[in-house]
């Protein structure tokens, strides 16, 4: 589904990603871990198309297409979803209106009929249950006045409605208490299917107790230093990131 080869990216002349290699197949959950400043969020942003980052080398192929050539909205319509680390507020625009517009833009792109108000409401009510959301969330402006935890849940709610093929969760666990973490993880797990894939970017192993990854990659200084199964996360938790730095392996899956 996704193949990243020798990806180099920089911001304001500072190279953050220095040759990332990663391959993600449908049905898989990949966790990307790493210390602060290792480039995890940069990788997520580059995949979503944030153009403050410039790519100097490497390729990203998504479903056989050159992802880097696509505009952010084309990527989104093509099934790439980013759950933001810091979800953005849009005052005055209700969550439901925002989602309806987004969903219909995506459906239109895929040659599907746009949903009318009734069908849409039916759909979102059903998806709301996945993240244990109250109806009032629909009528509130997008992320405005939401608590940190509510914002993160809202991201997963967006994901549940838009049904991406490739979901990238950027530090979705940060700032969540244990109950919210469980709700978010439950939502992600319920959305797991054979034909979609998830990349979980996280700092801590904690989230991976709830979302069990198929693969764990450790990103250090802009490179994947080590890859392994879910047990790698536990090992990391125990030994710390320095351990990876000292014994680099630079493996790709």
Least spacing, CB of residue 128 vs another protein, in Å: 12
User: Considering beta carbons, is residue 6 or 51 the nearer one to another protein?
Assistant: 51
CA-closest candidate to residue 34, choices 47, 44, 25: 44
Q: Take residue 237 and report the two structure tokens written for it.
A: 């938790």
- Per rule CB under 8 A, is residue 152 in the interface with another protein? no
Chosen residue from 158, 169, 197, 236 binding another protein by CB under 8 A: 158
Angle, vertex CA 50, rays to CA 37 and CA 94, nearest 5: 110
3-class SS of residue 44: helix
CA-closest candidate to residue 252, choices 204, 198, 215, 205: 215
- Per rule CB under 8 A, is residue 92 in the interface with another protein? yes
Mark residues 128-147: x for contact with another protein by CB under 8 A, - for none.
----------xx-x------
User: Considering beta carbons, is residue 85 or 227 the nearer one to another protein?
Assistant: 85
CA-closest candidate to residue 198, choices 184, 188, 208: 188
User: Considering beta carbons, is residue 6 or 135 the nearer one to another protein?
Assistant: 135
Chosen residue from 26, 90, 128, 234 binding another protein by CB under 8 A: 90
CA-closest candidate to residue 144, choices 101, 97, 88, 184: 88
Give the footprint of another protein on this chain (CB under 8 A): 48-52, 71-73, 75-77, 81-82, 84, 87-94, 96-103, 105-106, 109, 117, 120-121, 138-139, 141, 158, 162
């Amino acid at each position: 589904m996704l193949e990243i080869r020798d990806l180099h990216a920089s911001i304001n002349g500072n190279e953050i990603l220095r040759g990332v290699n990663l391959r993600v197949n449908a049905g898989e959950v990949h966790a990307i871990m790493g210390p602060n400043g290792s480039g995890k969020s940069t990788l997520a942003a580059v995949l979503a198309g944030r153009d403050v980052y410039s790519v100097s080398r490497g390729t990203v192929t998504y479903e056989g297409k050159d992802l880097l050539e696509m505009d952010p909205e084309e990527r989104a319509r093509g099934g790439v979803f980013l759950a933001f680390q810091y979800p953005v507020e849009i005052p005055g625009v209700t969550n439901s209106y925002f989602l309806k517009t987004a969903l219909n833009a995506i459906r239109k792109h895929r040659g599907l009929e746009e949903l009318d108000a009734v069908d849409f409401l039916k759909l979102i009510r059903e998806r709301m249950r996945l993240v244990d959301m109250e109806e009032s969330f629909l009528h509130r402006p997008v992320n405005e006045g939401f608590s940190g935890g509510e914002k993160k849940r809202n991201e997963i709610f967006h994901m549940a409605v838009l049904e991406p093929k490739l979901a990238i969760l950027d530090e979705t666990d940060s700032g969540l208490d244990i109950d919210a973490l469980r709700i978010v993880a439950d939502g992600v797990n319920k959305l797991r299917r054979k034909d979609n894939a998830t990349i979980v970017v996280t700092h801590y192993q904690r989230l991976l107790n709830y979302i069990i990854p198929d693969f764990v990659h450790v990103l250090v200084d802009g490179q994947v230093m080590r890859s392994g199964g879910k047990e790698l996360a536990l090992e990391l938790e125990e030994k710390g990131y320095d351990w990876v730095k000292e014994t680099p392996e630079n493996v790709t899956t």
